[in-house]
Amino acid sequence: MAAFGSLFMPEMAISWFDGDSWSETEIVASDSIQLHPGAHVLHYASTCFEGLKAFRHQDGSVKLFRMDRNLARFAQSSALLALPEVNVAATEKMILDIVGRFASEVPEPPGSMYVRPTHFGTEAAIGKAAAPSTTSCQYVLLSPVGDYFAGGDKALRLLVDDNGMRCAPHNGMIKSGGNYASALQPIMKARTEFNADQVLFAPDGFVQETGAANFLLIDGDEIITKALDESFLHGVTRDSILTIARDLGMTVSERELSVDELLERAAKPGCEAALSGTAAVLAPVGTLIYQGKDVKVGNGGVGETTVKLRSTLNDIQWGKAEDTRGWLTSI
């Protein structure tokens, strides 16, 4: 079985900004991008992307999940990186066209089609370390993916880091490649030294997010997670899970969560923790590693509430439950 996100459709949608306007969208081979070696993105990381999914329903139809939120964040990331302005309507059409072209390739549940819009600076100007690229490219790449939990639903181990941070605080809400790159070394070190799956960054002693996902603490009927600010990514899955939790009568507390409070609550019987993101939806957390010691979250296994919230969202995505909020877009 190929690794998650390592298979791609043979074609993608692409458009180029020449400094004045966007070109007409083309459908090209997925390996056909040619760049000048002086391209802004290669030297100054002027790039952002999105991740959303298309799902096959029982009647054979294909639906995209919360595309409007991803498009809004894509435009926001581009603006915050000073990339040329994205034409949201044109990008939406790019997504619909390329997913429609490969609609027959969208896997059956529990699989899906991962959709990856990407935008990057193309201007050949290595003297522009402190200036934006005036030209750019955007494309939409597709990757059919299987069941994220095909190997079993395993509770993750997180190293709690109250010294470092995932990325520069003012860049946290940008879905930029550079933010993920800056978290790689701490994650690799945590895996080697502590057998951790991820790092939970908690700068100044307050929980933020991991290297690739938002963090949720589930204590009984309450979900606690950091309130939105510019220091971390505003996850679409996070928002969807919190909305569903409120619908189920749970209390959602978006506020500061100190490491001390986290460890105290996590050790209580019945407590759960999870990471939210497009790939896994909700991945259970069973152990927190802090100052060389393992702290079990609840019983250290997969929590019932985590599974319930994930299943509820999956049912909407796969058409097994009614989409009462208009989250699905038909192809």
Q: Which tens digit of pLDDT belongs to each residue from 111-137?
A: 999 999 999 999 999 999 999 999 999
Task: From 125, 142, 144, select the one nearest 133 (Cα to Cα).
Answer: 125
Under DSSP, the state recorded for 3 is: P
pLDDT digits (tens, 9 = 90+) for 84-94: 999 999 999 99
Task: From 195, 186, 184, 185, select the one nearest 157 (Cα to Cα).
Answer: 195
- The pLDDT value recorded for residue 152 is 76
Rounded Cα distance between 161 and 200, Å, is 6
Rounded Cα distance between 128 and 44, Å, is 8
Residue 247: partners with Cβ closer than 8 Å, 6 or more residues away? none
- The pLDDT value recorded for residue 149 is 74
State the pLDDT confidence band at 1, using cuts at 50, 70 and 90: low
Tell me the longest C-alpha to C-alpha distance in the chain.
Answer: 60
pLDDT digits (tens, 9 = 90+) for 205-238: 999 999 999 999 999 999 999 999 999 999 999 9
- The pLDDT value recorded for residue 153 is 86
Task: Taking residues 4-19, report their average pLDDT.
Answer: 96
- The pLDDT value recorded for residue 300 is 96
pLDDT digits (tens, 9 = 90+) for 245-271: 999 999 999 999 999 999 999 999 999
- The pLDDT value recorded for residue 195 is 97
User: Is the pLDDT reported for residue 328 higher than 70?
Assistant: yes
Helices 67-80 and 88-101: crossing angle, nearest 10°? 130
- Report CA Rg, the chain: 20
Please give the torsion angle defined by the CA atoms of residues 134, 16, 77 and 218, in that order, rounded to the nearest 10 degrees. Answer: -160
State the pLDDT confidence band at 181, using cuts at 50, 70 and 90: very high
Domains of the chain with CATH codes: 11-145 (3.30.470.10), 156-317 (3.20.10.10)
Evaluate the omega torsion of the peptide bond into residue 110 and state whether it is cis, within 30 degrees of 0.
Answer: yes
Amino acid at 261: E
- The pLDDT value recorded for residue 148 is 82
Task: Taking residues 147-162, report their average pLDDT.
Answer: 88
- The pLDDT value recorded for residue 3 is 84
pLDDT digits (tens, 9 = 90+) for 271-317: 999 999 999 999 999 999 999 999 999 999 999 999 999 999 999 99
pLDDT digits (tens, 9 = 90+) for 44-73: 999 999 999 999 999 999 999 999 999 999
